[in-house]
Structures are given as C-alpha cells and as structure tokens.
Amino acid sequence: MTAIYAGTSFAVCLLEILVHANRKSPPSAARFVEAVAADDVSRETFDPAVHTGWDDLNDVSVAQAFGRDWIEGGRSALLFVPSIVTAARDTNVVVNPGHPDAARIAVGPETPVALDPRLFGL
C-alpha cells in the first residue's frame, strides 16, 4: 500500500514535516515539488464529523483504517484530509499513485528550499 502525502500549501507541508521528522537541525538538501490536478481528477474529502477519534494523537487507528480502505478500494486518486497539526484549519492531500487518474496529476520540477534555522531552535 503506497501513498504520497502532500498538502494544499507549502506552509502546511512544512509544518507536517517538522512535526513528523523530529529534527534538531535543518536538512541539508530540502526540496519541494508543486503538483496540479485538473478539476476532473477523482477526489474524495474525508469528513471528520463522521469519524470520531480521527484526530486522536494516541490512537491513529481510525485515520489509518479509513486511509487503508480508501487506497485499497481505489476510490479516487486524491483524498483531502484535515491537518491535525493545524487543528483542521488546513488540508493535507493523500495521493493514490495506483489509481488511473494519478497519471494525470502534473508534477513540477524539484526545487531546493532553504529552511529557516529558527524552525529548529537554532
């Protein structure tokens, strides 16, 4: 089960990386890519009101079960989910690379990015 994790903005992607990477210093070769999906690329939006406990930091089983069912069922190329890091004020996007519509997502070139060392307490 392969998935690509992305976000609807550079800022939310950076916050997700900072939370999950547990780094004390900036990576030496940070990169980002911008992807654009046409409006007709299949997508689904996760409804947190229907899935109690989706944002439980100590028990990720609700979110993981939904994601696993989504990707294994091949329901869409994109899954829009609220960011726990920003208390659902921003949106993450999960890409199912095995879905036929995923081939229609335009991905730009890798672009180097220098991260502000203050993000790492330096």
Going by pLDDT thresholds of 50, 70 and 90, the confidence category of residue 122 is: confident
Q: Does 23 score more than 80 pLDDT?
A: no
- Reported in sequence order, the residue ranges of the chain that DSSP labels E, i.e. its strands, are 4-7, 31-32, 35-36, 43-45, 78-82, 91-95, 106-107, 111-112
Domain count, the chain: 1
Q: Among residues of the chain, what percentage have pLDDT more than 90?
A: 76
φ, ψ at 91 (rounded to 5°): -125, 135
Domain that holds residue 85: 4-116
Q: Does 115 score more than 90 pLDDT?
A: no
122 within some domain: no
Q: Does 35 score more than 90 pLDDT?
A: yes
81 within some domain: yes
pLDDT score, position 62:
96
13 within some domain: yes
Going by pLDDT thresholds of 50, 70 and 90, the confidence category of residue 11 is: very high
22 within some domain: yes
Coil, strand or helix: which one is 21? helix
Going by pLDDT thresholds of 50, 70 and 90, the confidence category of residue 102 is: very high
111 within some domain: yes
pLDDT score, position 73:
97
pLDDT score, position 72:
96
